[in-house]
């Protein structure tokens, strides 16, 4: 059992994150739990972007984006060097699970919008993940 823990720790990813530094920038926190990378964006200004660069280890198999205190998303772009996905989640969509296309889905939980990417959206050889978003202001 000790050997498994050591191997997992050796392959645990480490990241370098480049965030926007403008006034009223949304805060971003990344968390890796087992085989899932979660990017939490907390609303402050409602527009932003971040780039997460892999330094060591492997990307987790699953990607979850959580937008806290967002009523809706006018735009959300998720990209790597080889893949890109664009979506929006308007106020008018009230379904419990929203199919966004290309294997992405979203759901609302209280004041959060949670977007799940399809498994292995970030391929193992990718060096970065970039995320851009715009909140609805109308």
| pTM for the model | 0.87
Decide which of 19 and 15 is more confident. Answer: 15
Q: What is the pLDDT of residue 3?
A: 36
Q: Please say whether the beta carbons of 83 and 133 come within 8 A.
A: no
Q: Please say whether the beta carbons of 72 and 135 come within 8 A.
A: yes
What is the average per-residue pLDDT within 104-115? 90
Q: What is the pLDDT of residues 121-130, one digit of tens each?
A: 999 999 999 9
pLDDT band at 5 (very low <50, low <70, confident <90, very high): very low
Give the Cα separation of 64 and 13 in Å (integer). 16
**Range(s) of the domain holding residue 93:** 2-135
Q: What is the pLDDT of residue 1?
A: 34
pLDDT band at 4 (very low <50, low <70, confident <90, very high): very low
Total structural domains in the chain? 1
pLDDT band at 92 (very low <50, low <70, confident <90, very high): confident
In the block, residue with structure tokens 């889905």: 105
Q: What is the pLDDT of residue 133?
A: 95
């Amino acid at each position: 059992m000790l050997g498994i823990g050591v191997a997992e720790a050796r392959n645990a990813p480490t990241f370098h994150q480049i965030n926007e530094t403008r006034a009223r920038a949304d805060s971003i926190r990344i968390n890796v739990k087992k085989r899932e990378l979660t990017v939490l964006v907390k609303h402050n200004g409602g527009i932003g972007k971040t780039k997460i660069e892999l330094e060591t280890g492997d990307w987790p198999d699953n990607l979850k984006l959580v937008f806290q205190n967002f009523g809706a998303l006018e735009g959300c772009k998720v990209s790597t060097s080889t893949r890109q996905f664009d979506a929006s989640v308007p106020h008018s969509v009230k379904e419990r699970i929203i199919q966004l296309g290309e294997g992405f889905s979203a759901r609302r939980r209280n004041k959060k919008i949670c977007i799940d990417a399809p498994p292995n959206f970030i391929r193992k050889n990718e060096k970065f993940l970039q995320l851009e978003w715009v909140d609805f202001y109308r």
